[in-house]
Amino acid sequence: MKQKLLNIKGEEVKDIKLNENIFGIEPNNKVLYDAIILTRASLRQGTHKTKVRSEVSGGGRKPWRQKGTGRARQGSIRAVQWRGGGVAFGPVPRDYSKKMNRKERRLALKSALAVKASDMIILDELKLATPKTKDMLNILKTLKVSDVKTLLIVKELDENIILASRNLANVTLLEANEINVLDLVANEKVIITEEALKEIEEVLA
């Protein structure tokens, strides 16, 4: 598999060969789906909580006697059917994280990269002289991705790149060792530097 290596002006520098063991595999949709669910689940805090009848204040005594009033029997004014009472079967704090073995994680990442191979732009390097958003936007316009959701992958984060891209709502910036299935799938285009690509291929090949 070959793909064009571009500079930040959008000019072709040379052809670069992609690792077929990563970008040329048949994507495993089941593992890819499971990895997306796992990543989204791990983002949930799980701190939701409602109070049961033993936790709400009040209701220490029986509101009226058991028989003879003509009304339904009640044991507490803080039972679930009362206004201000406890909540039946409400959410309690829990851990939403799921488990996936290492081979499945690697396969999911490879599958996501294989899916995005045709939507990937490889740059020889990405360096900015100033931390201006305008400079980053000009690069994106040159590469014709300024109006789509774009994942930007570099080997190491540079302060100028961080500052120049953080105000762009459609740009997600990651280091090569931070790539994940959800960000790869959620973005339409992937811009990756040659150094970052080599690091990913060394780890996954």
161 with 125, same domain?
Answer: yes
Q: Which residue has the tokens 């209701």?
A: 59
Residues 124-177 have pLDDT tens digits of 999 898 899 999 999 999 999 989 999 999 999 889 999 999 999 999 999 999
For residues 22-35, b (16+ Cβ closer than 10 Å) or e, as one string? bbeeebbeebbebb
How far is CA 3 from its chain centroid?
27
Q: What's the pLDDT band for 47 if we cut at 50, 70, 90?
A: very high
29, 61: one domain:
no
pLDDT one-digit tens code per residue, 76-97: 999 999 999 999 999 999 999 9
Determine what percent of the chain is predicted with pLDDT higher than 70: 100
In terms of domains, do 142 and 195 share one? yes
Considering the domain architecture, whether residues 114 and 179 belong to the same structural domain is answered as yes
Are 26 and 66 within one domain? no
- Residue 96 CA to residue 61 CA, distance in Å, equals 38
Predicted local confidence at residue 57, as pLDDT: 93
Written as six digits, the tokens of 174 are: 């990651």
- The pTM for the full model equals 0.80
Q: Which CATH number do you get for residue 125?
A: 3.40.1370.10
> Whole-number mean pLDDT of the chain?
93
Domain span at 58:
50-90
